Amino acid sequence: MVDLSLIIVNYNVKEFLQKLLDSIKEASNNLNTEVIVVDNASTDGSVEVLRERYSWVKLIDSKVNLGFGAANNLGLEISTGKYILLINPDTIVKEDTLDKMVEFFKNTPDAGMAGCKVLNPDGSLQLPCRRGFPGPWTSFTKITGLSTLFPKSKLFARYNLTFLDENETYEVDAISGAFMFFNREVYETIGGFDPEFFMYGEDLDLCYRTQKAGFKVYYYHDTQIIHYQGESTKRSNMNSTRVFYDAMHKFVKKHFSSYLLVEVILQMAIFLRKLLAFVSIYRFIIFPAIIDFVFVTVAIIEAETYLLQTGAGFPDYAKPWVYLVPAIIQLTFFAVSGVYRKNSFSVLKNILTLFAGFVFISAFTYFFKQYAFSRAVVLITFAILLVALPLWRIIAKLVFRIGVEDGLKKTRTIVIGSSKEASNLAEKLQSNYLNIHNVIGLVGFGVEEIGKEIDGFEVIGSTENILRVVESNKIDKVIFASDQISFDQMFSVVSKCQGYNIEFLVAGNEHDFIVGKTAINMLDDIPLVHLSYNISAFPQAEIKRTADIIISGITLLFVFPFIYLLSKIGLKKSRLVSFILGMPKVFSGKKSIVGPINKAVQDELYLGKPGLTGLWFTEGVPGTKKDTYKLDVYYARNQNLWFDFEILGKTISKMFLDREKK
């Protein structure tokens, strides 16, 4: 008889599924197991990989996406094991996980269902692996945030049970659908999932019905899995927030229909959750826009105060529109020009757009004479704004470090492994132009390996002293070369680094992909020569050349002659002087103000005209051709006028800072 049936529902997570199946094979040595994979109409080649590499897997190839519950039911119908494990494809099990779960059930006769400790990729506990049912009080404390404010309170923290020790075993209301272990008696008594739940909520429903049938549900702490949460959802076009709360609504209606309060709370939750998610995603748009609106309005009021001193003021018929309309117009200019972005905000772009708004609003008054009260009001308003709006952004960046991160942040990475394969993986990461990795070195498995060099990559530590390596090198990502490390060793490293906000990833067997909590990053997916870059696209190229001519022309007329004469009579050569003296080449078209460090064409890939400055200067890269080339490729792919202005602004700032240090 089969000891254990493992059922996996897969939807477009081929790489994660492969890692899970490999870990299951390692964990099944002492058990007679069957593995059933139900594929929910994946389009990423999952079915082909399963048939080619995993012939021992029982495959159910669904031609439509049935949802999580209904697909699991197909697997349950053909399962034959004494015990059943429903497990998500974006997980990895320890080598002892299956053995320990079977042993737990043998030693706990009243257990009908159990879940183990589920970890996030950073080693922290994934809270839904043990939780309470969303009754009236539990729902209220969850939605209002009381459970977060008082995580150790039995009264307020009943949903995620954060007041309980994660390193103890106990009975709970519900466990996570990512890992649900139960005996066949439970399945034969209550059946499978309710197909009314497409995704989310079905695990709560199954746990609720299990307990109603007289079985107990347990959280078992003595083994764990890693769960890269939400990977299937990321590959679908569904609104996960809406689907989640729709599922909660179905659950409450099914089991708590008499509680009107719960219905009201859940509807509030849907609205608040969507509002908070929207604010979180667009915070760099919403809050700067609100602050700017207040500043523009206040500036107009201050300008009117000046006007009152001359014996006049805004007439009543113009209020409040005389305060609101100019603010709306200026914010519209900001929005159209890209001042408000989802991940940061620009000081230079803000200043330039203020001038555009000033010209438009000044012209606007000529067409609406009844609102043309005083040119002085417009001048004073924009004089205030020219100081206030850039100033609050500078303070936010320099003092509070808000909005300083951007897509170019170089990820400090280490590779766990000391073999030829590990160095090949590190080389692929270094040469992957779609993601800028700064590979600090390799990490071996023994102290004796420290100091070795493998194809140019130094072994800077071992798994025994991984914490020292992480702390001293400020590591952001740890990537496992899976050919050389067991899953138990991976879990050991994750456990040691718990709490350090590190992302852990596992490389594929051929090192052609890496698996992480946020995405599948293909290392060899597209030859560079086939990529399209902004640097040569219309109209970016024409706009860039026009900007070069205007800026270099103005510099040549008003600044260049003085710097040139001073350089001839002994002015010390500096980066700023060289920058200005390079303007004739920009005006003639031989160079660009912003561009790559030297050659315009590298490896048959056009990166633009050589620049007087560029990311190679502003980002402070140590000068190796490989590192600067990667930055030049990044710039070529993302070039636009505002990006050039930002680089130019950073360049000028850095030049003056460098002078002050000297």
Query: For 473-525, how does the pLDDT look when each residue is reduced to its tens digit (9 = 90+)?
Result: 888 888 888 666 777 677 778 767 765 667 788 876 554 555 554 444 455 44
pLDDT of residue 4: 97
- Assess whether pLDDT exceeds 90 at residue 113: yes
Q: Could you read off the pLDDT of 18-75 as tens digits, one per residue? A: 999 999 999 999 999 999 999 998 888 899 999 999 999 999 999 998 888 889 999 9
State the pLDDT at residue 235: 44
Q: Are 423 and 441 in contact (CB under 8 A)?
A: no
Q: In this structure, are residues 502 and 477 in contact, taking their beta carbons and an 8 Å threshold?
A: yes
What is the C-alpha separation between 299 and 380, in angstroms, rounded? 8
**Is 0.75 surpassed by the pTM of this model?**
no
Helices then strands (H, E): number in the chain?
Answer: 25, 21
Which residue would you say has higher pLDDT here, 488 or 543? 543
Per-residue pLDDT band for 442 (boundaries 50, 70, 90) equals: very high
What is the distance in angstroms between the CA of the first residue and the CA of the last residue of the chain?
79
Q: Would you place residue 398 in the very low, low, confident or very high pLDDT band (cuts 50, 70, 90)?
A: confident
CA angle 440, 443, 446 (to 5 degrees): 150
* Mean pLDDT score, 429-436: 68
* 311-335 pLDDT tens trace: 666 777 778 888 888 899 998 888 8
Dump pLDDT digits (tens) for 530-539: 334 577 666 7
Q: What percent of the chain has pLDDT over 90?
A: 31
Check whether 234 has a pLDDT greater than 50: no
pLDDT class of 620 with cuts at 50, 70, 90: low
Quick check: 603 pLDDT over 50?
no
> What are the C-alpha distances in Å from 409 to residues 91, 615, 627?
28, 12, 13
Is pLDDT at 661 greater than 50 in this prediction? yes
Rounded to whole angstroms, the Cα distance separating 55 from 602 reads 45
Average per-residue pLDDT in the chain? Answer: 81
State yes or no: pLDDT of 337 exceeds 70: yes
Q: Which helix (H) or strand (E) holds 389?
A: helix 375-398
> Span 149-169, mean pLDDT?
91
Whole-number pLDDT of residue 290: 93
Residue 224, CA distances (Å) to 57, 117, 253, 287 in order: 23, 5, 33, 41
Say whether pLDDT at 104 is over 70. yes
Q: Rounded to an integer, what distance in angstroms lies between the CA atom of residue 572 and that of residue 569? A: 9
Report pLDDT for 231: 57
* Most trustworthy range by pLDDT among 61-75, 270-284, 341-355, 521-535: 61-75
What is the arithmetic mean of pLDDT over 368-391? 80
Give the whole-angstrom CA distance, residue 490 versus residue 445.
11
What pLDDT sits at residue 415? 92
Higher pLDDT, 112 or 249: 112
Q: What is the mean pLDDT of residues 195-224?
A: 85
Closest CA to 266 of 147, 133, 139, 158: 139
**For residue 658, what are the contacts with CB-CB under 8 A and spacing of at least 6?**
575
The pLDDT assigned to 332 comes to 87
Higher pLDDT, 490 or 94: 94
What was the pLDDT predicted at 114? 97
Q: Tell me, what's the pLDDT at 95?
A: 93
DSSP string computed for 321-341 = HHHHHHHHHHHHHHHHHT-B-
User: What's the rounded Cα separation, in Å, for the pair 634 and 406?
Assistant: 13
**Tell me, what's the pLDDT at 78?**
95
Lookup result for tokens 């897509």: 407
pLDDT band at 265 (very low <50, low <70, confident <90, very high): low
Q: pLDDT band at residue 202, thresholds of 50, 70 and 90?
A: confident
> Tens digits of per-residue pLDDT, 551-599?
999 999 989 998 888 888 877 778 888 999 999 999 988 999 999 886 5
pLDDT at 302 over 60: yes
Output the pLDDT for position 641. 85
Residues 69-82, mean pLDDT to the nearest whole number: 93
Closest CA to 194 of 75, 36, 72, 64: 72
Beta bridge partners of 4: 33, 83
Sign of CA dihedral 101, 107, 108, 109: positive
d(CA 384, CA 401): 24
26: number of Cβ within 10 Å = 17
pLDDT score at 471: 77
